[in-house]
Structure 1
Amino acid sequence: MPAASTKLRVLAVSVIASLTVTGCQTLDDAGRVVGRADLVNDLAARLDRALELTYSADYQLPGGQSASIAQAQDPARSAYSYPGGKLTVTGEATTQCEATGGRTVCTLAPPPAAGSKPSVAVFAEAKRRGLITPPVVVGMLTAAALEPEAIIKQDDTTVAGHHATCVDVDRAGDDFVACVTTDGVLGSFTGQVDGEPVEVTLNRYSETIDSSAFDLPPGAGIVDRRSTTS
């Protein structure tokens, strides 16, 4: 969304300003940081645009497993399905579903404030189950842009028939390669996230969705915490 892009642009400007103030970096170092800032802004703008689209995307995970992202507008809502769970974000609730022991339980929490987006923490379970989401990728890119020793390389490719910009990030503890399509959809991600290997690849993209994508799993138990969560 526009707010996210603004924050990232401010962050990029602050990085460049810090170089000007300290005067310790070489011209080459300054050029590297400017390049990183430009790249973060470009990817943030793409991801922001994607938040305003209606689309569905299927992803291939290791071991033959799969995941998906569905998004619609008017009203704005999104769904993230991954092995053993599902996350839906609507105007009524942020719902986390987990399947354990043959039973699925969905916990309803308050929705994001009007005009805002879910916090990155909301996507923690999806990430743990193997689906890394666009907001998490943006956070990792931003962290890399602020790390002087990080090496970021850019390339272009095609993922599931769609042109994508890829970045190869080499930084201590979290090396990764992320590709984002021209429309702002996550095309692929391979690397370390919190010390664990993650690999996702887009294998189908559509500008249409099935409305059932936002339904909770059939027979799931419901825990409603909207009235008790501040």
Structure 2
Amino acid sequence: MAYEMQFQPVLNYAPDLIDGTVTTLVLASQSIALGVILGGLGAIGRTEGPSWLSIAISTYVEVFRNTPLLVQLFLVFFALPMIGLQVPVMVAAVLAMALNLGAYATEIIRAGIVAIPKAQIEAGLSLGLSRFQIIRHIIFIPALMIIYPALTSQLTLTLLGTSIASAISAAELSSAASVIESKTFRSLETYITIALIYISLTFMFRFLYWIIGKILFHRKVVTSKNVVEDPLLTGAGA
């Protein structure tokens, strides 16, 4: 007997899907914002900081890049209360995902920083620019342009990774889908629906990254060797 797909029972729970989608957007946005800040600081600290700071950041990066996100999430959610730090579900999820993203972003941004020719930095010093001005104008923005496609791809993975927060009962989209599936017994229809929602969210975030890139990289950066091409033309976030 052929299986007859029925989406109406799933769509009857549209308010739950909307609530889960909103929670996913909040979780992803907060995790991405904190993770990118952490990754930028980590990359600068590892390349420009003292040796002890570089070692500490390298240790953090290796630990978080070589352990599963689920394990990190459980450690944050279950271990922190054992030392007297009670954290809500959403806070634990954001913290774990931001720390995970920060480790990957550190290495991605660091790769862009070390790709900047030393001659440009020396030219900035010869012009009397401060260390902060050199980091901001000569190192960080050109480096961000170089690694923008890789970074936005990692941010997209973070958006999709929010589904793992359902393991600690965060009321995001995957958790809502699990509840709907248990009530309707329409597994295929439920997960096809949330797959389409995730695809829509991914394209929405990629469009947002494209807009941000247009604002940040409104002109090409000329290096001592070549012109760094606009990453938006090479498919940022693909």
Calculate the TM-score normalised by the size of structure 2: 0.30
* Bigger fraction of residues in strand: 1
Calculate the TM-score normalised by the size of structure 1: 0.30
* Bigger fraction of residues in helix: 2
**Bigger relative contact order, structure 1 or 2 (CA pairs below 8 A, ≥6 apart):** 2
- Who wins on radius of gyration, i.e. which is larger? 2
